[in-house]
């Protein structure tokens, strides 16, 4: 009986930990932009001034994405709009970052995209 209780507690705690590690897809734009900016600040070693500007850019981008997802039911039109929006976002980033930081950001985006694609192909979960 004790073993059964122990196993039940173990399974419950593991499932809680796995759930806690999943990224939050339903974050509001403010939360999403803060999280993205914090990650970029660490990865790209942003100055405080750069971080403030990047936060504004990320917040604007997150708001636009949220609005687009709400109002757009046509998948192809949304894909095209997202490509345009991402290109504009990159251009704004390029104005704030130095060349080395910008290249590092692009490399990181590419790695993240590859991980997402691997996740779709194998049904695996990647962070």
Which DSSP string do the residues of 76-119 spell out, in sequence order?
A: HHHHHHHHHHHHHHHHHHHHHS-HHHHHHHHHHHHHHHHHHHHH
Residue 2 placed within a domain: no
Rounded mean pLDDT of 98-118?
92
Helix 75-96 and helix 99-122, axial crossing angle in degrees, nearest 10:
150
CB 24 within 8 A of CB 31: yes
24-74 pLDDT, tens digit each: 567 889 999 999 999 999 999 999 999 999 999 999 999 998 888 888 778
Residue 7 placed within a domain: no
Number of domains in the chain: 1
Q: What span, in angstroms and rounded, lies between the C-alpha atoms of 54 and 61?
A: 10
Mean pLDDT, the chain, integer: 83
For residue 118, give both structure tokens.
């691997």
Q: What span, in angstroms and rounded, lies between the C-alpha atoms of 51 and 37?
A: 7
pLDDT band at 2 (very low <50, low <70, confident <90, very high): low
Residue 125 placed within a domain: no
Residue 14 placed within a domain: no
| pLDDT at residue 126 tops 50 | no
Residue 111 placed within a domain: yes
Estimate the share of the chain in helix, then strand, then coil, as percent rounded to the nearest 5: 85, 0, 15
Q: What span, in angstroms and rounded, lies between the C-alpha atoms of 97 and 46?
A: 8
Residue 127 placed within a domain: no
Residue 20 placed within a domain: no
Residue 84 placed within a domain: yes
Range of the domain at 47: 26-119
């Amino acid at each position: 009986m004790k073993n059964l209780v122990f196993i039940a507690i173990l399974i419950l705690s593991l499932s809680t930990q796995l759930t806690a590690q999943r990224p939050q897809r339903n974050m509001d734009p403010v939360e999403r932009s803060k999280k993205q900016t914090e990650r970029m600040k660490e990865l790209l070693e942003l100055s405080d001034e750069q971080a403030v500007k990047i936060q504004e850019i990320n917040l604007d981008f997150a708001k636009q994405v949220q609005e687009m997802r709400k109002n757009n039911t046509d998948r192809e039109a949304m894909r095209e709009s997202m490509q345009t929006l991402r290109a504009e976002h990159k251009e704004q980033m390029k104005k704030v970052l130095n060349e080395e930081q910008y290249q590092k950001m692009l490399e990181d985006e590419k790695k993240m995209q590859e991980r997402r694609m691997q996740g779709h192909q194998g049904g695996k979960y990647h962070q």
